[in-house]
Structure 1
Amino acid sequence: MKRTWMAGLGVVAGVLAAGTASAQTEFNASIWFPDTHPLTGAGYVQWVEQLEEASDGDLVANLFTGSALLPPSAHLSGLQDGIAQVTYHAGTYTPSDLPEDNTLSILGLGLRDIMTAGFAVTDFYMNDPEMQARFQELGIIFAGGYATPQYHLICSTEVANLEDLEGLKIRMPGPIHADWARSVGATPVNVPSSEMFTGLERGQLDCAANAANDLKSRSLWDVAEYVNLVPLGSYFAGWEWAFNADFWQGLNDNQRRIMLDTISSSLVDALIAYESASMEALEEAPDHGVTIHEPNEEMLASVNDFANNVAPETAIEQGTEQFGLEDPEGLIKRFEETLAKWDELLKGVDRTDGEKLKEILHDNLYAEVDESSYGMQ
């Protein structure tokens, strides 16, 4: 692995290597989270090290973190253009390019288990014909998903009940969260997670809905003294790993197999690290002057009612009217069936048992992916 923090360094070498499978295949990987974020640390830093080792030095990544190579919203276009050969991308940043993904992401408000969500999203996006047709149209190869721990309210003002939300400006990750905020009298603000600290510091935001790990990884506890643990679901839009199609198709079968197997393992590592980082940050938060509130029954009922009754209807409505999908109801039904499949496969499994989780994911998904045909259309 070659670590690169300044845009431009290593870009030419990586692009020249794209689409070839020479003695050493060098490529650019980009994720816009900081190094302290678990999707970066476990999902990319450790993955590219494992990739180089598993390939005996054949597959070598120039890894760009933060916005060194691409700004957050450009991680799809930069992938398509070959500036990077593999990226992370938050799908809600480019809704018109990813209509199915954005339709399904609305259901995240009701998801409570990071493993079921992350495994099911990956399975569905790799195997559903409608999803695969979209990725083929975009010229990218989906290789692995992700999901976040529960989003909570991280605030600069105390929020103990629904009435406290009245009039607050809250950074929300997606449209369904924004709709819920409006339903309780708050004002949703659409800014990327990279701007949460500044927004809270300057008073442009009163709260940010996000996973609790960012209290520590982005030092939000320096500008937010209160957390309400109301469960606002799991965010999963986009992908953790997707490849430029020309690059992927230029690899040989063995290289693609190594990519798939290392991603299968790293996906589990990233989810465990993400959940662990969130729990650790909450445990440490009181030492940084943060007051943590458990949500009261009224607040829980408000979110759960929205997730169970409003979110599915909103997904169908937006899928039809905003995104022009032919059958959003069928899309949602198939996705829910995949969620049920993984809920059953993971029943009773310790969510901290990395080896068991890796075995289940590999045997029930990645081992079934044919490296000689997947993404080769």
Structure 2
Amino acid sequence: MKNFKKICFVLGTLTATSTTAIAANYNANHFFAERHSMVRGPYVEFARRVAEKTNGDVTFQVFTGGSLLPPAASLQGLRDGVAQISYHAGTYTPAELPVANLIGNMAFYNTDPMVMAFASTEFGLTNPAALEEWAKNGVVFGGGYSTSQYFMMCNTTVETLADVKGKRLRMPGGAWTRFAEYIGAVPVSIPSSEMYTGLDTGSLDCAVAAADALDSFSLKDVVTSMNTLAIGNYYAGFEWGYNKAFWRGLSEDNKRVLFDEMAYELAQHRLAFDADVNKAVDAAKSNGMQVYSPDEALVSSLNRFVAEDEKVLIENAKKRGVENPEEILAQFKSIVDRWDALLNSVDRKDVDALAALAKTEIYDRLDLSTYGMK
């Protein structure tokens, strides 16, 4: 296995540093399974269309399920050329991506996943502090994403604030961990791949994640109840990040293809993710899962936490060396509010209309001759 990883590293590095007009196969990395909505369209179909529209100049071999890079190594592996394009969850690298984690922890500011997918994309492509952070890590940011809303999926009844106290909740870290502690629960930080085992063995009482996990991670087999308190949504990091050497070797025409396809999949993915959630919840309910609305005390606790936690975000960002985090958050909120308004002007079930909005309002405004070249 060690030798295999070394071979992957060498091949990836050679590919990244040999980016000429010669057609080549490049590595695309995602740690979710191929059937997940974040992989099916944004990686598998994306790779197919990119190869077709670049006449084979840019052909990605898609590695899924962590088969090329495990979650915590995806940022370094992308930088080092093991992959030329990769998904990365920012929570795994808070020291390397303090700005990305600062805005990622604003998950409770607006819990509309469509708004946050488009807003996080614009921020990552245009904010000076974010761009400096990507460059420092050898990454060219391609586009963002957002999961659907996070709910508590439990192997016991969790309906009220009193029910939550003392429960062991799987949380993705950051603000979610602080919220668990705020309401008297016990946060457990494990990757999504371990949620099933935790619920099955009883080391977890609830998994806090998007409800498509009932199907994509088979949680429906071990979950008996779900609470619909909207505990934010996850968008830290990037859905598409590119190795810097690879990006610089692309022609402007091929970069435009990538931009256009990311704009399309940004929209397509959001609709597919929500469709997967609805399908998974319906199937789990038919299998006996109970769905509870949060009581007033639980809702009030979340609202108080959101109001109080922003100062913690700012303090943590300063400790990690972020300059002017207050200004960065203000800029991010402005972008979020802009997309909240923009998305009211379009049919949010029309993939092509949403993709066109992403193109005109984000990607078409970037200069292909300079973007990602510093």
Deviation at 1:311?
2.8
Matched, 1:374 2:371: yes
Alignment of 1:268-279 (within 5 A): 268-279=267-278
Alignment of 1:257-296 (within 5 A): 257-296=256-295
Deviations 1:318-376 (A, max 9, x none): 1123x122211011001111111111211243321111111111111111112221001
Alignment of 1:40-79 (within 5 A): 40-79=39-78
Deviation at 1:206?
0.7
Q: Distance in 2 between matches of 1:144 and 1:62?
A: 19
- Give the conservation status (yes or no) of the 8 Å contact 1:18–1:25: no
Given the two structures, how large is their TM-score scaled by the length of structure 1?
0.94
Q: Quick one: which amino acid aligns to residue 63 of structure 1? A: V
Q: Distance in 1 between matches of 2:109 and 2:264?
A: 26
| Partner residue in 2 for 1:326 | 323
Q: Distance in 2 between matches of 1:10 and 1:55?
A: 25
- Give the conservation status (yes or no) of the 8 Å contact 1:15–1:28: no
Deviation at 1:201?
1.1
| Partner residue in 1 for 2:129 | 130
- Give the conservation status (yes or no) of the 8 Å contact 1:26–1:60: yes
Deviations 1:256-300 (A, max 9, x none): 111111111111111111111112211221122211111222212
| Partner residue in 2 for 1:175 | 174
Q: Distance in 2 between matches of 1:164 and 1:370?
A: 53
Seen in structure 2, the aligned counterparts of structure 1 residues 77 and 14 have a Cα distance that, compared at 3 Å, is: closer
Deviations 1:301-324 (A, max 9, x none): 2212222x1232221121123x12
Q: Quick one: which amino acid aligns to residue 349 of structure 2? A: T
Q: Distance in 1 between matches of 2:76 and 2:10?
A: 18
3-state SS of the aligned residue for 1:96? coil
Q: Distance in 2 between matches of 1:52 and 1:182?
A: 47
Equivalent pairs, count: 370
| Partner residue in 2 for 1:354 | 351
Moved more, 98-107 or 9-18: 9-18
Q: Quick one: which amino acid aligns to residue 252 of structure 2? A: D
Q: Distance in 1 between matches of 2:283 and 2:5?
A: 34
Moved more, 74-83 or 248-257: 248-257
Q: CA RMSD in A?
A: 1.7
Q: Distance in 2 between matches of 1:302 and 1:133?
A: 36
Uncovered stretches (5+) of structure 1, i.e. residues with no partner: 1-5
Deviation at 1:188?
0.2
Q: Distance in 1 between matches of 2:45 and 2:304?
A: 39
2:315 aligned residue (292, 317, 338): 317
| Partner residue in 2 for 1:194 | 193
Alignment of 1:210-249 (within 5 A): 210-249=209-248
Q: Distance in 1 between matches of 2:205 and 2:47?
A: 38
Seen in structure 2, the aligned counterparts of structure 1 residues 348 and 302 have a Cα distance that, compared at 3 Å, is: farther
Q: Distance in 2 between matches of 1:26 and 1:10?
A: 13
3-state SS of the aligned residue for 1:230? coil
Uncovered stretches (5+) of structure 2, i.e. residues with no partner: none
Given the two structures, how large is their TM-score scaled by the length of structure 2?
0.95
3-state SS of the aligned residue for 2:359? helix
